[in-house]
Amino acid sequence: MLTVRHLTKSYRSAQEQVAVLRGVDLDVAAGESVALTGESGSGKSTLLHLIAGLDQADGGDITLENVVTTGLPDAARAALRRDRLGLVFQQFNLIPSLNVADNLAFQSRIAGRHDAVWQDELVERLGLAALLKRYPEQLSGGQQQRVAIGRALASKPLLLLADEPTGNLDEETADSVLSLARDLVARTGCGFLMVTHSARLAATLDRQVQLHAGLIR
Amino acid sequence: MLLSHWRRHPMQLATLLVGLIAATALWSGVQALNQQARASYDRAAATFGGARTAMLVGRDRAAVSQDLFVDLRRAGWPVSPMLEGRVPIGGRTIRLLGIEPVTLPVEASATAEVGKGGVQAFITPPGQTLISPETLADLGLMEGATPAIGDALKLPPLRVQPQLVQGVLVVDIGIAQTLLKMPGQISRLLIGKANGPRAPLEQVTGNQLRQVEPDAETDLERLTDSFHLNLTAFGLLSFVVGLFIVNSAIGLGFEQRLPMLRTLRACGVSARLLNTVLLVELVSIAVVAGLIGLVCGYFIAASLLPDVAASLRGLYGATIPGQLTPKPEWWLAGLAISVLGALAAATSSLLKAVRLPLLAAAQPYAWQQAQSRWLTLQGALAAIVLTGAAGVLLLGDSLIAGFVVLAALLIGAALALPVILGLVLALGERSTRRPLTKWFWADSRLQLSGLSLALMALLLALAVNVGVGTMVESFSRTFTGWLDGRLAAEIYLNASSEQQAVEIKRWLKPRPEVKAVLPGSRTDVQLSGLPVEVLGFADHATYRQQWPLLEATSDAWDRVRSGDAAFISEQLSRRLKLGVGDRLEVPALSGNWQLQIVGIYADYGNPKGQLGVNIDALVNRFPAISQTRMGLRVQPADVPALIAAIQQQFGLDGRNLADQATVKAESLRIFNRTFAVTAALNAFTLGVAGVALLTSLLTLSNSRLPQLAPLWAIGITRRRLAGIELLKTLSVALITALLALPLGLAVAWCLIAVVNVKAFGWRLPFNVFPLQLIQLLGVAMLASLLAALLPIVKLLRMQPAKLVKVFADER
């Protein structure tokens, strides 16, 4: 479903060019959950951002369901994120002006794929029924991340991308949130690529891929 | 270390400086104008025994015998005689003062000036006429000239006295008695401060004289108070709007430095030291900005001074010199206001710094709950202030009460604005289920607290613009219609002498193009201590049809023709509290003239009260009155030829012979200049409000990335986000502008029905000018668009890498 080939990306830092990704190859199959690990600065987040179309690669290809996404213009990459991807970040990144119910339905509604039954199921599975009228700042970190996962999955994406989704949570909450995410991913049959520092959490997914010095090891 | 913040955020420093400079410049500029005018009034009051000098005057202020001066001097009174009258020069009458320089009290400030030229030269024939440079220029004369004042009399050679007030000629009292044909008479006696034994006044002069104590405030000051209050109000408004910018810049700077302040505290820097450093930093910036603001204020004042001078001359007959000379205390006050303003704008940030906890705590309330509490409190405050305004409107009856109503109305409305905006936005949010539209309304609500100060500034600036614009436009329309009524004749002429006037009338009689000759005449009298002009006009259909009567009896014109009735100008009727049907007595040479008021007419812009009477009756009561003025009714097409013929035949120049169009154009020019200052201050205030909106939006745009980035990540393009952001700004600006319209009309009503009536004595009809409102709405939206554009362009051109940083954990 997701194929990454020879992906390169570098940044200009002060006076020098820093190569972050130096020819990355990666595959994620539908229904498969993959943990992307590596030390700080190894390029994990950069790889995730390139797959999400948040940034543009210098070279190589990313193919999602037979569609090459590298080189797509800004608007097409935005449509890709809206219609086919679900994104979860470490900082939760909910919309502060909307309450939990509106945050949950936001992406599925703008993608035109809102499914009330599926949303109700998400609310129930994520334990958010009592929190629907609350605003993000009134929630704990774990609650916010559950909302973020719900929002990302509400539109039934092809691929769920998560960047350190449990980085701001304690171990117990992290386990519970990730367990929920894994269950829901299995329920939708979408692919799941998660960046994490934690070997323990990485071990709970189907496969682990390690990124070292800009290359998959 | 703290200063490095400004180095890294130069735009923020620039915004802070711009806010402080704008606030200080506008406030100081207005204060410089007020100070200049007040100094001029003081000079007028102090020179040659104005209201600042104690004096002895006749019981009915009539002239008294010069012998009284001799008697009083012998009785030990340090008095100096003075004679006052008016002399005609070049078709105008100028105030002539006769002084006695040897006995003139030092505090009347003239002796030194006369002394410079030599008292000898001043009092010995041919003597000297002291004149201010401005008056000399107005009369189109040269120093040394000896202008004729009729009946073969001439003034002594003119000598320029730079410190002399405008519109006054000063000669030796002996010469004045000859020129004014008042031999052996004096108008008043100035009392010096020399202390010594003196006999009681009654013992020396009986009951012929009474003592008048010096006034702390002159008539001119009282009259012009409203004008200066108006200017001060504008200055204050601009100052407050400028402080909104400062508040927003300081608030942002503080929020951005919070982590650094916490770190410093954690490293052991005491709260006291940190707060002291922040305070010193703020005061230093305020002093620098204050100095720049003062220089800008000086230039603003200098550029507005000609228009202010024109306004004061046009409205009150007050003259102020064209050279701006700010006093040292003006500079100090400017610096102080800059520092105090900065401290006031930074109060909330400084208090936060004082109470800064070492660790950042979680938010106990959702933004909605916090906003709801803030809006409830603000709504309650607005209700209290607006109720107060209504109370003062009902119970107050003074100019100050009028301004209090205006201020309370504006403050109450500004406080109510976020409450109304909050309700409208909540309503919008509730009315939709579409996710982006819902977010549009919800996010606008979220931004409300950050934008509210700037929107309040916009509301105030717009409302004042609408209010003043409506008042000026009402005045303009009324004034134009009024001019049509008052300037009904096609040609106005003023003969150089009564003999020439008779010759002109004889010459005009057989000319077929002249439909009517309308003689006019006027004299000055005092009624209840007020200077009043009595205007005589002919009984003619021209006046009957066009005189701008506001109220009259059905037989008013017939009654006026009979000579025992008069029309009264609106301002005089208000000052004397006289209405149609009331009676008054005008002091005339043959005894008091009993007149019944049969009509009230509009006499806009005239500082003096006026009575309109039949010209024959006026000449009967005042036989010595000059009868040189007349208006001619002529077919408009014949005007140029007739003017040319009169000029050729009688040698009258442009000052004594003018067609209606020229007089109207000149009157409208003066009118327009009168409101040029208001228009300029209006534009400044709107400009500052625009900058306030821009700085608030820039401030917000810096903190909005975490709110916008998730939407971008979810799949909304930057272009669409920028479009939505622009639409949001324009929407709240539009709601604010729409609210400013009724508020502005309320301000206009308050100005027209309360402030103007108290300040000037006349009330304009209240009109609404929809086109003007639409225009202003357009200007407001344009200003908002310009203010919103920079943050929007920043968002549009933002590199994805910067947006991605929001999600990166290595931030």
Residues of A with CB under 8 A from a CB of B: 11, 40-41, 45, 49, 52, 54-56, 74-75, 78-83, 87, 89-91, 93-98, 102, 105-107, 109-111, 134-135, 137-138, 151, 163-164, 167
Degrees, nearest 5: CA angle B277-B280-B286: 140
CA distance A23 to A45: 15
Give pLDDT, residue A217. Answer: 81
Q: What is the mean pLDDT of residues B84-92?
A: 75
Sign of the Cα torsion B422, B425, B428, B433 reads: negative
C-alpha A82, offset from chain centre: 13
Residue B227 — very low, low, confident or very high, per pLDDT cuts 50/70/90? low
Q: What is the mean pLDDT of residues B92-120?
A: 70
Query: Which of B371, B714, B798 is best to mutate for the A interface (most A CBs within 10 A)?
Result: B714
Surface-to-core class of residue A205, CB atoms within 10 Å of its CB (0-12 exposed, 13-18 middle, 19+ buried): buried
- Token pair of B593, please? 């003239």
Are B605 and B315 contacting, i.e. CB atoms less than 8 angstroms apart?
A: yes
- Token pair of B363, please? 């938010």
Are B181 and B150 contacting, i.e. CB atoms less than 8 angstroms apart?
A: no
- In this predicted structure, the answer to whether residue B116 has a pLDDT above a threshold of 60 is no
Q: List the single residue in A with minimal CA-CA distance to B434.
A: A109
- Residue from the list A89, A111, A151 with its beta carbon closest to the beta carbon of B807: A89
Q: What is the DSSP string of B47-89?
A: TTT-TTS-EEEETTS--EETHHHHHHHHTT--EEEEEEEEEEE
CA distance B109 to B377: 58
Residue B455 — very low, low, confident or very high, per pLDDT cuts 50/70/90? confident
Long-range CB contacts (< 8 A, 24+ apart) of B99-103?
Answer: B99/B48, B99/B49, B99/B170, B99/B171, B99/B172, B99/B173, B100/B172, B100/B173, B101/B172, B103/B73, B103/B78, B103/B79, B103/B192
Surface-to-core class of residue B481, CB atoms within 10 Å of its CB (0-12 exposed, 13-18 middle, 19+ buried): middle
With an 8 Å Cβ cutoff, are A137 and B808 in contact? no
With an 8 Å Cβ cutoff, are B714 and A94 in contact? no
With an 8 Å Cβ cutoff, are A45 and B800 in contact? no
Give pLDDT, residue B810. Answer: 42
- Residues sharing a CB contact under 8 Å with residue A110, sequence separation 6 or more, in sequence order: A82, B435, B436, B714, B715, B716
B200 touching chain A per CB within 8 A: no
CA distance A189 to B46: 96
With an 8 Å Cβ cutoff, are B442 and A102 in contact? yes
The pLDDT tens digits of the residues spanning B249-262 come to 787 788 778 778 87
Q: What is the DSSP string of B700-724?
A: HHHH-HHHHHHHHHHT--HHHHHHH
- Residue from the list B442, B709, B801 with its beta carbon closest to the beta carbon of A93: B709
B706 touching chain A per CB within 8 A: yes
Express the helix, strand and coil content of chain B in percent, nearest 5 each.
60, 15, 25
Coil, strand or helix: which one is B727?
helix
Q: For chain A, what is the HEC assignment?
A: CEEEEEEEEEEEECCEEEEEEEEEEEEECCCCEEEEECCCCCCHHHHHHHHHCCCCCCEEEEEECCEECCCCCHHHHHHHHHHHEEEEECCCCCCCCCCHHHHHHHHHHHCCCCCHHHHHHHHHHHCCHHHCCCCHHHCCHHHHHHHHHHHHHHCCCCEEEEECCCCCCCHHHHHHHHHHHHHHHHHHCCEEEEECCCHHHHCCCCEEEEEECCEEC
CA distance B170 to B101: 11
Strand boundaries in B628-723, DSSP class E: 629-634, 657-659
With an 8 Å Cβ cutoff, are A164 and B436 in contact? no
- In this predicted structure, the answer to whether residue B618 has a pLDDT above a threshold of 70 is yes
With an 8 Å Cβ cutoff, are A138 and B434 in contact? no
Identify the weakest region by mean pLDDT among B372-381, B591-600, B681-690, B763-772: B681-690
Identify the CA nearest to B24 among candidates B307, B231, B238, B245: B238
Question: Measuring CA to CA, how many Å separate A206 from each of A173, A203, A211, B68?
Answer: 21, 8, 17, 121
With an 8 Å Cβ cutoff, are A54 and B713 in contact? yes
Identify the weakest region by mean pLDDT among A46-50, B261-265, B459-463, B678-682: B678-682
With an 8 Å Cβ cutoff, are A96 and B446 in contact? yes
Residues with pLDDT less than 70, chain A = 14
CA distance A65 to A159: 10
Question: Measuring CA to CA, how many Å separate B501 from each of B82, B112, B162, B505, B628?
Answer: 33, 43, 36, 6, 5
Give pLDDT, residue B318. Answer: 64
Contacts of B807 in chain A (CB under 8 A): 45, 49, 54, 89-91, 93, 163
B799 touching chain A per CB within 8 A: no
For chain B, the structural domain boundaries read: 4-39+222-480+672-805, 53-214, 496-651
Give pLDDT, residue B422. Answer: 93
Contacts of A106 in chain B (CB under 8 A): 435, 439, 714
DSSP-derived letter for residue B433 is -
The pLDDT tens digits of the residues spanning B558-581 come to 999 999 999 999 989 988 899 999
- Residues sharing a CB contact under 8 Å with residue B799, sequence separation 6 or more, in sequence order: none
Phi, psi dihedrals of residue B659, rounded to the nearest 5°? -90, 165
CA distance B795 to B697: 12
Are A106 and A151 contacting, i.e. CB atoms less than 8 angstroms apart?
A: yes
The Cα of B2 is separated from the nearest Cα of chain A by a number of Å equal to 24
Coil, strand or helix: which one is B482?
helix
The pLDDT tens digits of the residues spanning B299-311 come to 888 888 877 777 7
Query: Which of B717, B805, B809 is best to mutate for the A interface (most A CBs within 10 A)?
Result: B809
User: By percentage, how much of chain B surpasses pLDDT 90?
Assistant: 21
With an 8 Å Cβ cutoff, are A45 and B809 in contact? yes
Give pLDDT, residue B110. Answer: 47
Contact residues, B window 457-516, toward A, CB-based 8 Å cutoff: none
Are B421 and B738 contacting, i.e. CB atoms less than 8 angstroms apart?
A: no
Mean per-residue pLDDT over chain B, rounded: 82
The larger pLDDT score, comparing residue B291 to residue B39, is at B291
Contact residues, B window 341-380, toward A, CB-based 8 Å cutoff: 363, 365-368
Are B31 and B152 contacting, i.e. CB atoms less than 8 angstroms apart?
A: no
The pLDDT tens digits of the residues spanning B33-54 come to 888 777 777 666 555 555 567 7
C-alpha B103, offset from chain centre: 40
As its CATH architecture, domain A2-216 has 3-Layer(aba) Sandwich (3.40)
DSSP-derived letter for residue B655 is T
Residue B518 — very low, low, confident or very high, per pLDDT cuts 50/70/90? very high
Q: List the single residue in A with minimal CA-CA distance to B799.
A: A55
Residue B363 — very low, low, confident or very high, per pLDDT cuts 50/70/90? low
The larger pLDDT score, comparing residue B55 to residue B114, is at B55
- Which ipTM score applies to this complex? 0.87
Q: What is the mean pLDDT of residues B506-534?
A: 87
The pLDDT tens digits of the residues spanning B208-224 come to 887 776 654 445 555 56
Are B494 and B626 contacting, i.e. CB atoms less than 8 angstroms apart?
A: no
Give pLDDT, residue B111. Answer: 42
Sign of the Cα torsion B210, B215, B221, B222 reads: negative
With an 8 Å Cβ cutoff, are A106 and B713 in contact? no
Q: List the single residue in A with minimal CA-CA distance to B436.
A: A110
Identify the weakest region by mean pLDDT among A153-157, B112-116, B220-224, B642-646: B112-116
The residue to which tokens 């070049």 are assigned: B90
- In this predicted structure, the answer to whether residue B270 has a pLDDT above a threshold of 70 is yes
The Cα of B458 is separated from the nearest Cα of chain A by a number of Å equal to 25
Are B144 and B156 contacting, i.e. CB atoms less than 8 angstroms apart?
A: no
B800 touching chain A per CB within 8 A: yes
For chain A, the structural domain boundaries read: 2-216
Phi, psi dihedrals of residue B481, rounded to the nearest 5°? -65, -40
With an 8 Å Cβ cutoff, are B713 and A87 in contact? yes
Under 8 Å CB pairs connecting chains A and B tally to: 105
Contacts of A41 in chain B (CB under 8 A): 810
Identify the weakest region by mean pLDDT among B170-184, B276-290, B344-358, B397-411: B344-358
Are A183 and A8 contacting, i.e. CB atoms less than 8 angstroms apart?
A: no
B191 touching chain A per CB within 8 A: no
